[in-house]
Amino acid sequence: MKDLVKGQELWKTYKLDSTEVHALRGLNITVDEGEFVSIMGPSGSGKSTLLNMIGGLDTPTKGKLYIGGKETSSMKDKELTKMRAKDIGFIFQTFNLLPALSVLDNVEFPMRNLTNGEKLDKSSRIQRAEECVDIVGLTPRIKYLPAKLSGGERQRVAIARALVNNPKFILADEPTGNLDSEATANIINLLHEVNDQGTTVIMVTHDLDTAKDTKVMKIRDGVIES
Amino acid sequence: MIDIALKDFRAKKGRAAMCIVGVMACVLLIGTVNLVLYEMESGLEGDLGTVHGKLYFEKNGTGFPPSGSIISENLGNEVMNRSEVNPDKSTKALFMPIQNDNFSGYTMIVGLTPGREETFIENVKNVTVEGKGSLVGESDNSVIIGSQVAENFNATVGSTITVSNHKYKVIGIIKQIGTGWPLTIDNSIVMQLSHAQSVMEMPNLISTVIIVPQESIDVAEIDLQNAYPSYSIYSQNDTRKTLEDNLSQIKIFFNMISAFIFAVSVILIMIVMMMSVKEKTKEIGTMRAIGTRKRSILALIIYESLILSLIGGIIGIILMSPTYNMLGLLMGAKEVNFLSFYIPTPILIQILMIVFIIGTFSGLLPAYIATRISPIHALRYE
Ligand SMILES: Nc1ncnc2c1ncn2[C@@H]1O[C@H](COP(=O)(O)OP(=O)(O)OP(=O)(O)O)[C@@H](O)[C@H]1O
Ligand SMILES: [Mg+2]
């Protein structure tokens, strides 16, 4: 499929008391299958807002957004939740691992969110989770709790978690924002590897270096500049 | 989701412990209160159970025990000869309470026809007598005594006790059957009617006729009442009423205490779970973001509170018997077996239900709140 993500005239307006904040102002975006897109732009320009919308966490105030050909603004919470579980892998700036769960359990967790026909049995889930932990090179840490891992290692766990359900695309909001340059390089390499395997990646970043070899989209004041 | 709930406790031991202790205390309190009530009720049943299957013919307005009733022995003989009355099993009886100097409470002198001891002693509960259970062929001053009397007078089978300057020879001791209230078997000294009359200086007087009916007890009651309208026929129906009268106030009071404790522990766990949900806003938001359904979040929180209250409940149940025994010890029980584990089934079922309800109820609101967490808000949450 060509247009994995297609946004037309997207508006997002927040009402704060009497004033209105326009986070997106008629933004248009198209992401094709297999692309690695970097969204860049100044703070407050609407990058996270856009990414959340693509991730089915938020809906546009105005405009139409199609994910995999399906219009999302009319979807109910239940459908959006299902879409997030099945089609999307999330990576956050603050890692957001579940602190009570081991590396393996964290990676296995999203597979529990699949429903009926798609849900694997426990042993297949563990096997798949081990595979993904191996991909990010953390097999020696598989029993660790997140608190015992470095930032870079945590983000690798998050990547494994994002991959585990074979999503159509991965959304990463400043995935290296809390990491040093070495860990950053490592994470970006991993994302490129994932992209090489055919998974679409949409990443928000401030750093031109990390956006190297990706399709850069610049956003300013809620619209895409280039 | 249960495994995740369990892993959550490992991460937050203090909070889990707080909930567990809360439920434990609740179970302990409610359980002990109910155990006390249960024992009281069962004791009262024992006290009044001697009326079961029998009728007490007595002066109007006396009730049970019939110590306030005085009727002539002639009237007693007349009643004994009526066709409703089984003359081989029924007995004339004299009940006289004696105040004691060296311990609080009363002792009840019960005089009856030798050979008819069973008529008085027989109970809804099993009665066992140590020594002899019959006065037939024994000397005039022979007595069969209740367990409380044995304790008060430090008596054993074969020993002699002195009550109000009269000496009695103990030939049998009835094992404890009730609470000792109100002056019934456990506090009784059973002796020959003629001896009781002479000791009490009440010749030709009795308190009651304990009637074992020939046929239907209900018919006998109505017939006798019709024949003697100015006397009363006390029966097991009256017993039940007496029992309820005596217990209803206490029951209401105890149930109020239970309800209060219950409410407090529901609120306690609810607050702790709310705190937990608030604290886990980011985690729950993350779960929702990566596709966890609301239903699963709901289940997770309810499992958590249910598991916590079950653990607390089980510990509470285990500690209930020792606590009850300790209470008994403080209230003056002489021998207490701390290793005995005794909880009547109805109370156990009641407690388990309470634990289950605490777990579910206290989890509901926090779980609902958890499902309302917006993932976007949670991801921004610092
Ligand atoms: N829930 C909200 N209520 C009100 N205003 C909001 C809300 N969320 C975002 N905004 C506003 O929308 C605008 C865009 O926010 P957004 O988080 O998308 O920016 P960003 O490009 O991701 O910035 P940064 O690089 O700092 O993360 C900001 O001005 C922000 O204050
Ligand atoms: Mg942002």
Say if B239 falls within a structural domain: no
Q: Is the domain of B309 the same as that of B212? A: no
Binary contact (B290, A77; C-beta < 8 A): no
| Chain A residue with the nearest C-alpha to that of B1 | A112
Nearest C-alpha neighbor of A162 from the set A213, A211, A199, A206: A199
Domain that holds residue A131: 36-57+79-224
Does pLDDT of B125 surpass 80? no
Q: Is the domain of B177 the same as that of B284? A: no
Q: Is the domain of B7 the same as that of B126? A: no
CA angle, corner B125, sides to B120 and B127, nearest 5?
60
**Chain A residues within 8 A of B375 when measuring between CB atoms:** 57
Q: Is the domain of B59 the same as that of B147? A: yes
pLDDT at B104: 67
Say if B222 falls within a structural domain: yes
Amino acid at A192: H
pLDDT at B333: 60
pLDDT at B102: 67
Per-residue pLDDT, averaged over B353-372, amounts to: 92
Virtual torsion, Cα B213, B219, B222, B224, nearest 10 deg:
-30
Say if B331 falls within a structural domain: yes
SS3 B146: strand
Say if A26 falls within a structural domain: no
The nearest CA of chain B is from the CA of A78 a distance in Å of 7
pLDDT at B183: 53
pLDDT at B103: 67
Say if A153 falls within a structural domain: yes
Q: Which residue has the higher pLDDT, B344 or A28?
A: A28
Q: How far is the CA of A173 from the centre of ligand 2 (A)?
A: 7
Q: Is the domain of B132 the same as that of B229? A: yes
Domain with residue A107: its CATH number is 3.40.50.300
Per-residue pLDDT, averaged over B106-120, amounts to: 89
Per-residue pLDDT, averaged over B235-261, amounts to: 83
Say if A47 falls within a structural domain: yes
Alpha-carbon distances of A210 from A6, A191, B18, B80, rounded to whole Å: 24, 11, 47, 111
* Mean pLDDT score of chain A: 92
Say if B240 falls within a structural domain: no
Q: How far is the CA of A95 from the centre of ligand 2 (A)?
A: 14
**Chain A residues within 8 A of B289 when measuring between CB atoms:** 55, 57, 84, 90, 96
Say if A148 falls within a structural domain: yes
Are A82 and A158 in contact by the 8 Å Cβ rule? The answer is: no
Protein residue with least CA distance to atom 1, ligand 1: A14
Q: Is the domain of B333 the same as that of B217? A: no
**Burial category of B342 from C-beta neighbours within 10 Å (exposed 0-12, middle 13-18, buried 19 and up):** exposed
Say if A65 falls within a structural domain: no
Question: Could you say which of B207, B234, B261 is where a domain stops?
Answer: B234
**ipTM associated with this complex:** 0.94
Does pLDDT of B180 surpass 70? no
Interface test with A, best of B6, B281, B290 (most A CBs within 10 A): B290
Tally A–B CB contacts below 8 A: 66
CA atoms of B235 and B64, how far apart (whole Å): 9
Q: What does the pLDDT look like over A31-48, one tens digit per residue?
A: 999 999 999 999 999 999
Please measure the distance between the N-terminal and C-terminal CA atoms of chain A and give it in whole angstroms: 23
Question: Could you say which of B234, B259, B285 is where a domain stops?
Answer: B234
Q: Is the domain of B211 the same as that of B290? A: no
CA atoms of B195 and B217, how far apart (whole Å): 30
Question: How many domains does one find in chain A?
Answer: 1
Q: Is the domain of B183 the same as that of B285? A: no
Question: How many domains does one find in chain B?
Answer: 2
Q: What does the pLDDT look like over A128-156, one tens digit per residue?
A: 999 999 999 999 999 999 999 999 999 99
CA atoms of A202 and A170, how far apart (whole Å): 6
Question: Could you say which of B189, B208, B234 is where a domain stops?
Answer: B234
Q: What does the pLDDT look like over B66-94, one tens digit per residue?
A: 888 899 999 999 999 999 899 999 999 99
Q: Is the domain of B21 the same as that of B59? A: no
Per-residue pLDDT, averaged over B157-178, amounts to: 89
Q: How far is the CA of A122 from the centre of ligand 1 (A)?
A: 39
H or E element at residue B90: none
Say if A30 falls within a structural domain: no
CA atoms of B211 and B87, how far apart (whole Å): 8
pLDDT at B339: 60
Q: How far is the CA of B55 from the centre of ligand 2 (A)?
A: 88
Percentages of chain A per state (helix, strand, coil), in multiples of 5: 35, 30, 35
SS3 B93: strand
Give the tokens for residue B119. 């008529």
Say if A9 falls within a structural domain: no
Please measure the distance between the N-terminal and C-terminal CA atoms of chain B and give it in whole angstroms: 26
Per-residue pLDDT, averaged over A177-193, amounts to: 91
Q: How confident is the model at residue B332 (pLDDT cuts 50, 70, 90)?
A: low
Non-local CB neighbours of A65 within 8 Å, separated by 6+ positions: A5, A6, A7, A8, A10, A53, A54, A59, A71, A72, A73
Binary contact (B291, A81; C-beta < 8 A): yes
Domain that holds residue B15: 2-44+245-380
Ligand 1 — pocket residues by CB below 6 A? A 14, 16, 21, 23, 43-49
Per-residue pLDDT, averaged over B228-245, amounts to: 82
Binary contact (A112, B283; C-beta < 8 A): no
CA atoms of A219 and A221, how far apart (whole Å): 7
pLDDT at B247: 79
Rg value, chain A, Cα: 17
Say if A27 falls within a structural domain: no
Does pLDDT of B382 surpass 90? no
Nearest C-alpha neighbor of A85 from the set B35, B22, B95, B375: B375
Please give the model's pTM, rounded to 2 decimal places: 0.76
> What's B255's DSSP letter?
H
The nearest CA of chain A is from the CA of B358 a distance in Å of 25
Q: How confident is the model at residue B296 (pLDDT cuts 50, 70, 90)?
A: very high
Say if B212 falls within a structural domain: yes
pLDDT at B62: 75
**Chain A residues within 8 A of B11 when measuring between CB atoms:** 99-100
Say if B266 falls within a structural domain: yes
Does pLDDT of A71 surpass 60? yes
Amino acid at A122: K
The nearest CA of chain A is from the CA of B377 a distance in Å of 10
